[in-house]
Amino acid sequence: MAKVKQGPGSFLFPMPVVLVGANVKGKANFLSIAYVGIVGHAPPMIEVAIRKNRFSSDGIKENKAFSVNAASAAMVEATDYCGIYSGAKVDKSQVFEVFYGELRTAPMIEESPFNLECKLAKVLDLGGSHEVFIGEIVEAYSSEDYLSDGRPDLAKIEPIVYDGGSLSYWTLRDKLAHAFQIGKDYQP
C-alpha cells in the first residue's frame, strides 16, 4: 500500500485527553492535556508534557505535586473550557468540585471517574516546546459508579479521545479482544 508522508508531527492514535490539576498561588487550577503517558510500573509513573511557561507549570514545581483526572464524555464542555482558557486570565478553581488526598496539594476532580494523585519526580527539558513533568502515582481514586466488579470499567468511564487532525473529540467504541490471550496461538 502506498504511504503518504504527513511530516514529522506529534501524531498518536488514540490520543487521550486528561485534566491535569495543580495548585497555583494557593488555588486549584486545571488544564487539558493530550500529551500524557504511563512511563513506569514499579513504582507507577506518569508523564504529562506541558508547553513551557504555562500558568500551571509554576504550581506543579512549587508544590511538587499534580493530579491526572480522566475526562469522560459527560465532561467534554468543561474539558474544552480548561483547554481554551488559562488560569492566568480566568479562575478555574470553581469549574469542578475539588478534593485532596494524602499529598494535600494535588487538587483532584470529584466528578471525574478516575483520579491519579502524583508526586513530582522530575521535570525534563528536552530543548523543545514542552517540559515533561514526571510524577510518581501515590494513589488512584475511582468513583464507585464507574466500577464493575470493583475495577474501573472503560465502558462506563467513556474517556475522551482527541483527534488533532480534525480538531475533534471522540469516544471509544467496542471491546475488541482479550489482551495477552488473543495472540497466543497466532501463526505469523
Ligand X SMILES: Cc1cc2nc3c(=O)[nH]c(=O)nc-3n(C[C@H](O)[C@H](O)[C@H](O)COP(=O)(O)O)c2cc1C
Contacts of residue 73, defined as CB under 8 A and 6 or more positions apart, other chains included, come to 158, 159, 160, 171
Dihedral sign computed on CA atoms, order 13, 79, 75, 70: positive
Confirm if 32 and 92 have CB atoms less than 8 A apart.
no
**Which 3 state secondary structure label does DSSP give 74?**
helix
Q: Is residue 18 within the footprint of ligand X (CB under 6 A)? A: no
Please give the residues from 116 up to 175 whose contact with ligand X meets the rule CB under 6 A: 162
Helices (H), ranges, the chain: 55-63, 76-84, 154-157
Nearest approach in angstroms of CB 50 to ligand X is 4
Looking at beta carbons, which residue is closest to ligand X? Answer: 83
In angstroms, rounded to a whole number, what is the distance separating the alpha carbons of residues 18 and 115? Answer: 10
* Binding residue (CB under 6 A) for ligand X from 35, 99, 100, 141: 35
> Residue 49 or 78: which CB sits closer to ligand X?
49
Nearest approach in angstroms of CB 43 to ligand X is 23
Nearest approach in angstroms of CB 131 to ligand X is 9
Please give the residues from 44 up to 103 whose contact with ligand X meets the rule CB under 6 A: 49-51, 54-56, 80, 83, 85-88
Nearest approach in angstroms of CB 101 to ligand X is 21
> Residue 42 or 167: which CB sits closer to ligand X?
167
171: cell is 469516544
**Which 3 state secondary structure label does DSSP give 120?**
strand
Q: What is the binding site for ligand X (CB under 6 A)?
A: 17, 29, 31-35, 49-51, 54-56, 80, 83, 85-88, 162
